[in-house]
Structure 1
């Protein structure tokens, strides 16, 4: 019985050492993000207030997230930039804490708030949004995960989501 336990420990050590030599990217695949079908991204325009003297927007993007790995993991952080009509609109930094079992998928809302007074270069975007009631968005950044025994790799920077959002006033 003790010998079987020792064999298991040695085999696990060899496996993890081999994995480290191959690099985590050969073992741990990044989760896949796509826009959730049937769930439209939304932008709600917000009027001026004490915290938003020029108004702002609340953005909700619905993401379909898939774990392609044969083991569970936790999405721990998504950090990067939100672009509206190819113009950088906001920094994003989400502590996600989302567990995904092996080959599981789920739909999550990603919510971003921005104040127009803090943003330069969005005047053209706001004019286009007001005239068409929709805007293209793109979420670029780096995704960090906790893969248990396989470590805590990060993926990116890359584009995780992109699409068109409906604007509501």
Structure 2
């Protein structure tokens, strides 16, 4: 008879050997998997207006630092992260964020450098941000998560991130 510690080790090895096969057999159940997989979450670490050009073309340069958390027990690569940037309720432009690799039950911090067009309708709002006034913003969008053998579900559209611009004035 084998000692209990050896039997426990043997059970762990057998379970580890069966897990990849079980996961692969589930990959054909995409609708069921989307219900089992949890949506990665986005939270804002920092926003900064780094520049405002009112020439031709008029642009606002924004640094958006996001923390993305993966609540799932498998690693994921987020791709095709795109959406709309709203400032004080006004749609100020398209946002495309870089791909992000997330460890299982882990997180990653990603900085996106955005160059957004400034129009006659949004110039006053951008000037307020540049003068250090708080201004609400949000990013609504979609993304695809590559979970390897478990599939590539798409999530959204929904609000990926939101908050207030809170920075020192860069214009008088």
- TM-score, normalised with respect to structure 1: 0.76
Q: Secondary structure at the match of 2:99?
A: strand
Is the 1:136–1:163 contact (alpha carbons within 8 Å) kept by the matching residues of 2?
A: yes
Residues of 1 paired with 2:117 and 2:24: CA distance? 51
For 2:7, the equivalent position in structure 1 comes to none
**3-state SS, counterpart of residue 34 of structure 2:** helix
Distance 1:10 1:126, change over 3 A: closer
Note the aligned Cα RMSD (angstroms). Answer: 2.6
8 Å Cα contact 1:28/1:150 also seen in 2: no
Gaps of 5+ in 1: none
Deviations 1:99-122 (A, max 9, x none): 111001121112210232xx3521
Q: Distance between the aligned counterparts of 1:46 and 1:21, measured in 2? A: 45
* Structure 2 equivalent of residue 15 of structure 1: 26
Q: CA deviation at 1:83?
A: 0.5
Q: Cα gap change, 1:11/1:56 in structure 2, threshold over 3 Å: closer, same or farther?
A: closer
- What does the per-residue CA deviation read over 1:117-163, in whole Å, with 9 as the maximum and x for residues that have no partner? xx352144235335553322100010111111111111100001001
Aligned residues: 153
1:13 to 1:110, Cα distance in 2 relative to 1, 3 A: closer
Higher RCO (C-alpha under 8 Å, 6+ residues apart): 1
Other structure's SS at 1:71 match? coil
1:82-161 alignment to 2 at 5 Å? 82-94=85-97, 96-116=98-118, 119-130=119-130, 132-161=132-161
**After the TM superposition, which segments of 4 or more aligned residues of structure 1 sit over 6 Å from their partners?**
none
Q: Which has the larger radius of gyration?
A: 2
Q: Quick one: structure 1 residues 11 and 114, their matched pair in 2 at CA, closer, same or farther if it must change by over 3 Å?
A: closer
1:34 aligns with 2:61: no
